[in-house]
């Protein structure tokens, strides 16, 4: 269950990281939160990926012996879906920037509106 909380926090941090309004003053987010996302995102991503790999290895060993951990597998599958979605968003945004000859993590500030 802890991994699910870690994955959902990673999803929130990814949405903040890839949102243009988060990085502007018009978004209404505090500066300390922006600094936390800027400095802690990649270490936290590494932590969540390492933790999920460790849990996957543990579940795989137990799965081969018994099948009584089916509920844990469902929670783990949900966590993997959230983690892969976060990685997909992160990679897709940066890939679009590279294809359009812009730097990584680029956001078009002129087209940002606060609706």
Q: What's the pLDDT tens digit per position in 7-19?
A: 999 999 998 888 8
- Helices (H) and strands (E) counted in the chain, each on its own, are 3, 0
With a CB cutoff of 8 Å and minimum separation 6, the contacts of 24 are 109, 112
| Helix/strand/coil for 42 | helix
Q: Return d(Cα 7, Cα 84) in angstroms, integer.
A: 10
**Contact status, residue 63 vs residue 73, Cβ threshold 8 Å:** yes
Q: What is the pLDDT along the chain (115 residues), one digit of tens a residue?
A: 788 899 999 999 998 888 878 887 776 888 899 899 989 999 999 999 999 888 888 877 766 566 566 677 778 888 889 999 988 888 888 888 788 887 776 666 566 555 5
Over its C-alpha atoms, the chain yields an Rg (Å, rounded) of 17
Record the pTM. Answer: 0.76
Domain count, the chain: 1
Domain that holds residue 93: 2-111
């Amino acid at each position: 269950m802890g991994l699910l909380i870690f994955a959902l926090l990673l999803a929130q941090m990814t949405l903040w990281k890839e949102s243009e309004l988060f990085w502007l003053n018009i978004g209404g987010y505090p500066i300390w939160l922006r600094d936390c996302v800027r400095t802690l995102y990649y270490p936290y991503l590494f932590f969540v990926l390492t933790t999920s790999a460790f849990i996957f290895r543990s579940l795989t060993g137990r799965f081969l012996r018994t099948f009584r951990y089916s509920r844990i597998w469902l929670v783990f599958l949900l966590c993997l879906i959230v983690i892969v979605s976060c990685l997909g968003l992160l990679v897709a945004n940066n890939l679009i920037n590279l294809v359009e000859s812009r730097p990584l993590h680029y956001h078009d500030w002129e087209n940002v509106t606060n609706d």
